[in-house]
Amino acid sequence: MPRPFSPKIVTANDLIEGDVVYLTADDRWSRSHSEAELLEDEAHATIRLLDAERQQNRIVGAYLADAKAGPNGPEPVHFREAFRSRGPSNYAHGKQVAAGHQ
């Protein structure tokens, strides 16, 4: 028996900067996990992933990641996605600098 579909988001890496990015409902790529479009329908999630994969001039490595609804938008379900959402593990780059960790 197939497992029921769990909510997902589309995530990838920015082609030029390498940052983790998330596809929003209005077709933007955001660096904020909470702005990602939460996909609760499997067919729609598949279509959104296909749309993302066509944007090879902007992103690389698009995939569907498990997520859950949170008070401020989608939240990661797995450690890997929580880790990716915080940015590089060294403080001198990307989201860590913006958060004041230098």
Q: What is the mean pLDDT of residues 68-93?
A: 83
Judge contact between 87 and 95, C-beta under 8 A.
Answer: yes
Judge contact between 49 and 63, C-beta under 8 A.
Answer: yes
pLDDT at 87: 73
* Number of neighbouring beta carbons within 10 Å of residue 31: 16
Predicted TM-score (pTM) of the model is: 0.83
- Better-scored residue on pLDDT, 62 or 101: 62
Q: Given a cut of 70, is residue 100 above it in pLDDT?
A: no
pLDDT in tens, 15-74: 998 899 999 999 999 999 999 999 999 999 999 999 999 999 999 999 999 999 999 999
Q: Which helix (H) or strand (E) holds 8?
A: strand 8-14
Report the C-alpha gap between 49 and 35 in whole angstroms.
16
